Amino acid sequence: MTANRALLDLDAIPGMFDHHVATAADLISLGLSGSVIEERCRDGGPWQRLQPGLVLLGNAPPSRAQRIQAALTVAGPEAVLTGVDALALHGMSAARLEGPVHVLVPSRRQSRLVDGVFFDRTNTLPVAQLRSRFPVAPLARATIDTCRRATTAEHVRALLTESVRHGRISPAILRDELSRATTRGAALPRRILAEIDDGVRSVAQGWARRLVHRAGLQPPRWRVPITGPTGAHLATPDAWWDDVGMAWEVDSYGFELSSADYAAALRRAAHLTAAGIVVVHTPPTQLRDEPSVVAELLRGAHTQASARPRPPVEAA
């Protein structure tokens, strides 16, 4: 062992690398020999090999962050993290941290197979943003990349709704991003973006839209502002039947609204009721689990609203 190797503190090496992930070449450059690395990566040793030439400087199962670091290290310096991990790093609550790590790489790179990683070759590599020291795709790109690989409409709707509802991205930006993507997996997010443009901006409201058709009611107007006799704005209910003056509110508290949003929803309902409007409230869980019950409630409320004089309110 040389003097440099004798002075090297092996226990201090993990702290020299992001998330304790190092290449064998980096370890050798510090003065370790290949045999030392091999010995420490044996079963029961303090380190472990993640891939050929890639070492996790610890013996616990790799964390999600360590898997990301390993994937980016294998992919090379131009790689950009996208998918659910990028969304989580952007603060998106709808991101489900499951499945492979999704990494964008230049199209000129050869494909390679790494367990637990999806290397996505692309001609439109985005400019990365740094999040928790990871190069991350911009929110719009990460959202569309995730939606294109999602398997259910509810998951896609939740992702797109969170992006739009909280004012982070406009539907136009998402549509533009989708237009630049490959057609594979684009049909579902394209359809739901059209719904969002039509005013259906929550998972629960998407369920509501489909339930109305099954209930046999005339289609309502969605998210239309209602004004009172003086012209003052009363509220913008989720659905509005203008012929009878009936409103439907899907109370999304606990799904995606903050407590402040919920307080605003209660004020809306109070204004509508005070103006003589029949208001139906439906929690999202009932909409999801008991659609036939909700349909019956809506039909009954519509009958009730039809039996009294229509209040003097106007829909914009």
- pLDDT tens digits for range 259-303: 555 666 677 788 899 999 999 988 888 888 899 999 999 999 999
- Please spell the DSSP secondary structure of 215-250, one letter per residue: HTPPP-EES--EE-TTS-EEE--SEEETTTTEEEEE
Residue 243 contacts residue 252 (beta carbons within 8 Å): no
Query: What is the rounded CA–CA span in Å between residue 236 and residue 224?
Result: 5
User: Which of 224, 251, 248 has its CA nearest to residue 297?
Assistant: 248
Across residues 224-246, what is the average pLDDT? 92
Q: Which residues pair with 241 in a beta bridge?
A: 246
pTM: 0.66
Q: Please report how the helices 139-149 and 171-180 are oriented relative to each other, as an axis angle in degrees rounded to 10.
A: 60
| 212: its two tokens | 């109305």
CB atoms within 10 A of CB 177: 23
CA distance 110 to 60: 31
Q: Is the pLDDT of residue 36 over 70?
A: yes
Per mean pLDDT, which range of 166-180, 226-240, 297-311 is the poorest?
Answer: 166-180
DSSP state of 124: -
Coil, strand or helix: which one is 123? Answer: coil
| Main-chain phi, psi angles of 115, to 5 degrees | -60, 130
